[in-house]
Structure 1
Amino acid sequence: MELEDMDCLGHSSKSGPGVCVAQSVENGGFGGDGRCCKQASPPRSGGSRNTSPMSRAGSRNTSPLRQKVVKTKPRGLDEETLATFGKVVHADVQMEDNIWAMLPEDLLHEILARVPPFLIFRLRLVCKRWNSLLQDSSFLKFHSSVPSHGPCLFTFWKNTQTPQCSVFSLPLKTWNRIPFTFLPPWAFWLVGSSGGLVCFSGHDGLTFKTLVCNPLTQTWRALPSMHYNQQRQLVLVVDRVDQSFKVIATSDIYGDKSLPTEVYDSNTDSWTVHQIMPAVNLCSSKMAYCDSRLYLETLSPLGLMMYRLDTGHWEHIPAKFPRSLLDGYLVAGTQKRLFLVGRIGLYSTLQSMRIWELDHTKITWVEISRMPPKYFRALLRLSAERFECFGQDNLICFTSWNQGKGLLYDVDKKIWSWIGGCALQSYNNQVCFYEPRFDASIY
């Protein structure tokens, strides 16, 4: 496989061997409306362009008293990058070869383990020693001990029956394309992601299948069939300390609640049958996993259904929804925080998007934020337009149909920002948060 550079239009050019992770708009960024900004051009080899009137051939100076020529700085790549991302541009530092060549192996691995995963593929082109990093147990050990690179958006869609995947790194503000030809040609769809692994479900033509993969290492495996092998609502849970994962299967995707809850454990490579969800009317099939608990919205009885993974039992939480709630999404945060996101208002001119947090003590929803009107109008131009919402680590992402961009909200910093690019322009794409990790194992 080969590394590709991808621009905003999806064109690519091969740049070397290694796992195919295509980088795009690294120097361009996105404007306030989510569109790709034009990439700055470096100074031409013939010299920088002088914009003063005296430098133009044949131009006439209409002010004879002003003889001093004011030279302006040419608009180069560094200035454009600074204006777009707000990053400080540092001068190149000369590296002493005789010092860095003698760097101890463990110290080198500790440094490289802190490099963003998508940049590791480019570093593998340096030498044979670095090319074998992903097979080095010492490097993977350091990689597993360092903090996460940061949240990413994982987008998945099919183009002429060929799986396509692009990942947007929020810290680097770049799109990276990952090839998905390593998966079997089944009719599957994205379930979700946890701890560096991604879960899919679908049909192989005969039976219902569930598979888990690591997109970075291009490894995958199909899980054994469930006891009640039907198309189910699934959620993936990864335990990085135990180096294992679980998959929770609730009711049938079409609303058949007579099926028992089943849990897959990678340690035993088997499914276990648990309690059947009590008879309730689900408000939405969207689930949120928070603090070893799985939450679903219910209309009758009104509130939440909570599944405890440690006991394998369902409980009802009588948390009433806010008034005039049109559509709500449960979003899991950190430190036991559970959010409710939805539209409020019966009329299109009075609608707004709000965010609540569950007070576990009083069992009530407390409003914590409102989407500014300008973002709400840009995200949902029509009152009936459908939108999706998902979250991770107190970050909430909004996407809507017919929009080639997403809206990100940081609950802690209370900051709204747009995310755009070619990978969000497909109407049938599936999106979730994703944490890229080389050490995430499917076994």
Structure 2
Amino acid sequence: MDPDPDSDSDSDPSQEPGQSPIHLLPMDAIHHVFSNLPLRHIIICRSVCKLFKTALSSPPFLETLPPFNLLALRRPISTLHVFDPTLNQWFRFPLDFLPFPSAAPVASSLGLLYLWSHSNSKSSLVLCNPLTRQFRVLPQLGSAWSRHGTVLVSAAGHVLLLSELAALYFSADAGCWRNFSSNLPAKPRSPVVVAGSVFALCDVGSPWRSQWTLFSCRFSEFSRWDRLERHEWGDIFDILKRPRLVSGAGNKVFMVGGLKSSFALNSPCSTILILRLDLDSLEWDEAGRMPTEMFGLFQESTKFKVFGGGGRVWFSGKRVVGRFAMWDYSEAVGRNGIWRWVEGVPGNGDGGLCRGFVFDARLTAVP
């Protein structure tokens, strides 16, 4: 007997109450669709329905997603403020899952955020993933380390705290902090991690005249520093006033500072210059110069901060209220990069100095 054409047995499942046609798609097709969206949108879609949450929580799928490249602000708050350079937008990650009244974010590596938390006279470094709201607390330290130490993290997740005279090293294998002498001739300035090595500037000059020198060591051998210098470099360290280091993309290190108009002791600066060191060839070249109209605001400022990583560098000035200057370098934007303003910096309306660091957010990062 032929089935009744009006029978419910032949009804389209996609038309059943509460059933969407997307439930008929194979999981591979759903993954293919969402793989074309940025990570931020995928995170939002995970809360739409059970199907999306299941599909977008699959480890094989998550491992194929590129990281969410952000600028995170360093400030002791209960909410992490981040900036997406691609969307040119600020947004927030709540940190209310941490059992601390306040925490100060200071660094990141491979999708994990590193924060200082304080209790009485003790401090602890906390590792967390604000996307998955997971965290882990490292063994406590004296509060002086959170005030004066610089936090550096390797790609393997090892942590180095570097101060003027000493260094602390932590690895998951040892499970405790180990204390070493820093073995540097002077206080390290703006140390950065690039290609498995630590690079830092040291002023080895006199109280009357600075003489900046570049030092480096392997992250796993931080007690053995080498002085990097080449005859071909000439006076490369003498042309910049108050230089800072910023990690670059690949095997590149940026050195940023005011370009002196002469070699006189108190020579004024004509602009902010970005130099790039290729670690493979050990050759310097000029990467960018801040435009005159932009530099005018920083020239009037009594103080400014430089931070960033990869192919971007940000500048925060004491009198540059509510915004950052940003230099964006990549093959797509040209040889000398692009300069632009980043507006609406949270909490910068009073003209206070802000600092930040690159946070490559990932859903797969586990503390």
Q: Say which of 362, 386, 389 aligns to 2:303.
A: 386
The alpha carbon displacement at 1:296 in A equals 1.1
| 1:214 matched to 2:129 | yes
Deviations 1:222-273 (A, max 9, x none): 102469984432112344xxxxx1211222xxx3x1x3x3322235533345
Aligned to 2:195: 291
**Cα distance change, pair 177–368 in 1 and its aligned pair in 2 (3 A):** closer
Mapping 1:362-401, distance limit 5 Å: 365-378=284-297, 380-382=298-300, 384-401=301-318
Consecutive unaligned residues in structure 1, runs of 5 or more: 1-95, 240-244
Q: Say which of 359, 362, 366 aligns to 1:434.
A: 359
Aligned to 2:31: 109
The separation in 2 between residues aligned to 1:217 and 1:422, in whole angstroms, is 25
Q: Say which of 276, 280, 284 aligns to 2:185.
A: 280
How many residue pairs get matched?
Answer: 324
**Cα distance change, pair 185–225 in 1 and its aligned pair in 2 (3 A):** closer
The separation in 2 between residues aligned to 1:263 and 1:107, in whole angstroms, is 46
| 1:408 matched to 2:323 | no
The separation in 2 between residues aligned to 1:395 and 1:207, in whole angstroms, is 35
User: Which secondary structure state, in structure 1, belongs to the residue aligned with residue 80 of structure 2?
Assistant: strand
The separation in 2 between residues aligned to 1:102 and 1:361, in whole angstroms, is 52
User: Which secondary structure state, in structure 1, belongs to the residue aligned with residue 217 of structure 2?
Assistant: strand
User: Which secondary structure state, in structure 1, belongs to the residue aligned with residue 131 of structure 2?
Assistant: coil
Aligned to 1:337: 252
- The answer to whether the Cα contact below 8 Å between 2:73 and 2:105 also exists between their aligned partners in 1 is no
- The answer to whether the Cα contact below 8 Å between 1:342 and 1:353 also exists between their aligned partners in 2 is yes
The separation in 2 between residues aligned to 1:428 and 1:209, in whole angstroms, is 25
The separation in 2 between residues aligned to 1:310 and 1:417, in whole angstroms, is 38
For 1:148, give the aligned amino acid: P
| 1:304 matched to 2:229 | no
For 2:88, give the aligned amino acid: K
Deviations 1:189-212 (A, max 9, x none): 322122211111242113121111
**Cα distance change, pair 287–407 in 1 and its aligned pair in 2 (3 A):** same
- TM-score of the pair, normalised by structure 1: 0.65
| 1:419 matched to 2:342 | yes
For 1:434, give the aligned amino acid: F
- The answer to whether the Cα contact below 8 Å between 2:106 and 2:151 also exists between their aligned partners in 1 is yes
Mapping 1:13-92, distance limit 5 Å: none
Aligned to 1:271: 177
The separation in 1 between residues aligned to 2:201 and 2:74, in whole angstroms, is 26
The alpha carbon displacement at 1:112 in A equals 2.6
Deviations 1:146-172 (A, max 9, x none): 3234x21112435xxx52322221222
The alpha carbon displacement at 1:331 in A equals 0.9
Deviations 1:329-348 (A, max 9, x none): 10111221111000123455
**Cα distance change, pair 367–156 in 1 and its aligned pair in 2 (3 A):** closer
Aligned to 1:249: 161
- The answer to whether the Cα contact below 8 Å between 1:118 and 1:176 also exists between their aligned partners in 2 is no
User: Which secondary structure state, in structure 2, belongs to the residue aligned with residue 168 of structure 1?
Assistant: strand
Bigger drift between 195-204 and 314-323 goes to 314-323
Q: Say which of 89, 97, 116 aligns to 1:201.
A: 116
Identity among equivalent positions (%) equals 22
**Cα distance change, pair 340–428 in 1 and its aligned pair in 2 (3 A):** closer
**Cα distance change, pair 357–375 in 1 and its aligned pair in 2 (3 A):** same
Aligned to 1:316: 226
The separation in 1 between residues aligned to 2:143 and 2:296, in whole angstroms, is 44
Q: Say which of 216, 236, 248 aligns to 2:153.
A: 236
Mapping 1:85-234, distance limit 5 Å: 100-132=22-54, 136=57, 138=58, 140-149=59-68, 151-158=69-76, 163-185=78-100, 188-225=103-140, 230-231=145-146, 232-234=149-151
How well do the aligned residues superpose, as a CA RMSD in angstroms? 3.0
The alpha carbon displacement at 1:355 in A equals 0.9
Consecutive unaligned residues in structure 2, runs of 5 or more: 1-14, 206-211, 230-234, 261-265
The alpha carbon displacement at 1:283 in A equals 5.9
The alpha carbon displacement at 1:187 in A equals 5.6
| 1:357 matched to 2:280 | no
| 1:262 matched to 2:168 | yes
The alpha carbon displacement at 1:125 in A equals 4.2
- The answer to whether the Cα contact below 8 Å between 2:192 and 2:245 also exists between their aligned partners in 1 is yes
The separation in 2 between residues aligned to 1:213 and 1:133, in whole angstroms, is 24
The separation in 2 between residues aligned to 1:107 and 1:361, in whole angstroms, is 42
The separation in 1 between residues aligned to 2:25 and 2:245, in whole angstroms, is 48
- The answer to whether the Cα contact below 8 Å between 2:185 and 2:202 also exists between their aligned partners in 1 is yes
For 2:183, give the aligned amino acid: P
Deviations 1:60-118 (A, max 9, x none): xxxxxxxxxxxxxxxxxxxxxxxxxxxxxxxxxxxx99864421123323433443232
